[in-house]
Structure 1
Amino acid sequence: MIKILIFLILYTYSNALEFNFKQTALDEFEIKGFSKAIVYKTKEDRDNQIAKLWEKLFSSNDFSVKKSKDKKLYMIYTNYKKNSFDCFIGIKSDLKIKNFESKLIKDSKYQRGILKYEQNLNMSDIWDEIQKEKVNRNFKTDIEEYRLFDLSKSKYDVTIYLSSK
């Protein structure tokens, strides 16, 4: 029985990780939301800090899908160092949103891939797999892009942008 369960978990996990990264470019844009310097000793510690950032955004009285210009949510990763990086979660908006910080994402080249996300996947595990991908990265700015209306569904696409050389 345990072998069947492990097989099903691995089968679901491997089917979800079908990346087909392709070169693309993004124009400069600004997002508004919250930032956190993630400094961690363990993967669990890292994941908990990121989860708290998600919670901070969704529990904010100032957050609203209606304030989003493109109805998408962005998770930005920058300033990679050993056991630390900066994380920013937010939306594109032309409005000044009370208590939100702003972050400018400069135009740049990226490798774009689409993840078929399913409910039981852990994005931290996905990023661990992405690290193994042979992609021409420069580790300056990486982006997860979610359609806000999809987040309550059990399956949806996540667009991942890896900054490239």
Structure 2
Amino acid sequence: MNTAISYATQAVVPISLYASQYGPNSLAVSPNIISYNMELSQPSIDDGQLQNLVNDVASKLPPEACVVVLLPPAMDNRSNSRSQGTHGYHGHAKVPYINSYIDNDQQGSTSLTVQDVSFRYAGSLSHEIAEMVVDPFGNGPEVCDPCGPTLLAHTWHISTPAAIT
């Protein structure tokens, strides 16, 4: 989690600049990890359980807080499941919240890096941070989706001009 906090601390600077085209904003990332114990009968939650968690945690935070919940590879959110292609979402309980997933590493690594070259968490987390800043209630424009995979866009990596045909 410290790695994700370090990443988010660096990422909020350009995210804030991006989001400023929709209006003024202010972002800061707390270095504190909040532990929360929740008894589950299966390795999944739903959005109602997540909102209860967010409300419990938010009761001890400033009113302008946003709670970020990163679910590890073994956990799912039935309301917005990984199996549906969801990588994360944002919503609003008593405060705004983000549910973002940490994906399995294809090479079997269990550690996260700030660079996140295997795209395990950083893309989804920064996407949801930006959307939460612009739309803290989760019912407005999805300002990052036109740039994301929902358009079924292709990314081409061209190493030299000779590769262009």
Give yes or no for TM over 0.5: no
Larger helix fraction of residues: 2
TM-score (norm 2): 0.32
Larger strand fraction of residues: 1
TM-score (norm 1): 0.32
